[in-house]
């Protein structure tokens, strides 16, 4: 049986916990018994915790001066960061204005089966987790940018940085099969339409093909689609709900935010970060700039830019910065051995220029996410924060 990382609450490998993204918890529960149990469960996760005092749940209706409600304060705090980045976890027993805020992951303790007071404590602890695995979109600025290969390297780097299992998902609407691109098409395992709606996290990971430490969930090659009865694929939102402890890296190909293909694949949720990959050519950088505009229009910042060096290309790093309108996050240097490794089905994600560039992006992503974690003491004051 395959050994999986990060599937226990304590975390089998947790030496890199300092680099994990850890959202704080807000507890807004009226039922005293549920409140006490939720506090106990939340304390096990070792996250920062704040309990909303009853007096602060509603705005003063007298018309006089009053302090802003928790929802107003939290909304202001969350608006300071791009949507999709680290927010808060809300434990509640009812539908409130806090539930409607972007950046708030809601756990309704009153709707749990089994109930929180009837054996559901372990389920709630696992649902919350001790940290927050990332959901990262990798976009190609143009065809042949190397998006799929870089996405694989990034999945490995993020898995190592956070000590979590990493799943690379084929989200390219024009995919010819991510397994084929990565040279592992002969490995047995599930394709994206094999994953049932109620499949468990462990079941998905154990049935996906592996490449140098990551799991790969590929679409079936379009050329062989007539040989296969295709079932509906789960969206990223559905996979994310089923895999709360796994880093998800989605190879989006040339699918862009706002497009019909993007909305269908992501299922209404937003990526934590977006990475744009392009070749260091004039046309490639122009395509990357257009992709950046789409990311900005979605409200997700400018994304991280990876530019891949091309043999004999005349474009320099300085020219790339001018054409992009900003400094690229990192360069992906030429690796003469990579093509041979792909042909042999022996692509290494842990060494070479691919690994170096992927580690640089992974570190930038984790730092960005950590910097955007909400400080609860700014919202309710130090005395209410555990």
| pLDDT tens per residue, range 251-274 | 999 999 999 999 999 988 889 999
Give me 265's structure tokens: 């694949």
Give me 283's structure tokens: 């046309």
CATH 3.40.50.300 residue ranges in the chain?
135-368
Write the CATH number of the domain with boundaries 22-131: 3.40.50
Average pLDDT rounded to a whole number, residues 105-128: 90
Using a 10 angstrom Cβ sphere, with 0-12 exposed, 13-18 middle and 19 or more buried, the burial of residue 240 is middle
Give me 155's structure tokens: 């999945």
pTM beyond 0.85, yes or no: no
Residue 84 has pLDDT above 90, yes or no: no
Q: What is the pLDDT of residue 130?
A: 74
Strands in 135-186 per DSSP E: 135-140, 166-170
Answer positive or negative: Cα dihedral of 273, 324, 308, 328: negative
The string of pLDDT tens digits covering residues 140-158 is 988 889 999 999 999 999 9
Task: Of 15-19, 51-55, 282-286, give the range with the top mean pLDDT.
Answer: 282-286
Residue 175 has pLDDT above 80, yes or no: yes
Q: What is the pLDDT of residue 121?
A: 93
Q: Where residue 68 falls among pLDDT bands split at 50, 70, 90?
A: low
Q: Has domain 135-368 been given CATH number 3.90.79.10?
A: no
d(CA 348, CA 333): 15
Contact at 8 Å (CB) between 168 and 215? yes
The string of pLDDT tens digits covering residues 194-246 is 999 889 999 999 999 999 999 999 998 655 555 555 678 999 989 988 898 89
Q: What is the pLDDT of residue 86?
A: 60
Q: What is the pLDDT of residue 241?
A: 82
Of the two residues 384 and 222, the one the predictor is more confident about is 222
Residue 17 has pLDDT above 60, yes or no: no
**Residue from 215, 244, 239, 240 nearest 130 by CA:** 244
């Amino acid at each position: 049986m395959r050994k999986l990382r990060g599937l226990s609450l304590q975390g089998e490998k947790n030496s890199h916990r300092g680099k994990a993204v850890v959202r704080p918890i807000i507890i807004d529960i009226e039922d005293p018994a549920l409140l006490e149990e939720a506090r106990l469960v939340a304390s096990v996760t070792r996250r920062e915790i704040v309990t909303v005092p009853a007096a602060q749940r509603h705005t003063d209706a007298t018309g006089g001066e009053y302090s802003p409600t928790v929802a107003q304060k939290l909304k202001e705090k969350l608006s300071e960061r791009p949507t999709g980045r680290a927010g808060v976890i809300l434990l509640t027993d009812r539908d409130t204005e806090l539930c409607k805020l972007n950046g708030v992951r809601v756990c309704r303790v009153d709707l749990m089966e089994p109930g929180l007071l009837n054996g559901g404590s372990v389920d709630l602890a696992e649902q919350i987790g001790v940290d927050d695995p990332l959901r990262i979109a990798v976009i190609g600025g143009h065809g042949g940018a190397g998006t799929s290969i870089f996405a694989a390297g990034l999945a490995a780097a993020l898995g190592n940085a956070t000590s979590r299992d990493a799943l690379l998902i084929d989200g390219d609407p024009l995919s010819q099969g991510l397994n084929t691109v990565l040279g592992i098409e002969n490995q047995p395992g599930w394709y994206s339409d094999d994953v049932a709606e109620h499949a468990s996290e462990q079941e998905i990971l154990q049935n996906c093909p592996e490449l140098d430490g990551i799991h790969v969930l590929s679409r079936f090659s379009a050329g062989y689609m007539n040989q296969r009865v295709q079932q509906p694929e789960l969206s990223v939102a559905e996979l994310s709900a089923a895999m709360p402890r796994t880093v998800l890296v989605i190879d989006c190909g040339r699918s862009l935010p706002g497009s019909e293909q993007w909305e269908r694949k992501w299922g209404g949720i937003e990526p934590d970060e977006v990475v744009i990959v392009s070749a260091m050519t004039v046309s490639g950088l122009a395509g990357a700039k257009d992709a950046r505009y789409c990311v900005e229009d979605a409200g997700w910042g400018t994304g991280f830019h990876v530019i891949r060096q091309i043999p004999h290309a005349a474009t320099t790093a300085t020219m790339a910065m001018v054409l992009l309108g900003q400094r690229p996050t990192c360069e992906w240097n030429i690796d003469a051995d990579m093509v041979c490794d792909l042909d042999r089905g022996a692509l290494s994600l842990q060494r070479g220029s691919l690994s170096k560039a992927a580690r640089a992006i992974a570190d930038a992503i984790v730092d960005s996410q950590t910097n955007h974690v909400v400080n609860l003491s700014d919202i309710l004051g130090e005395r209410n924060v555990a």
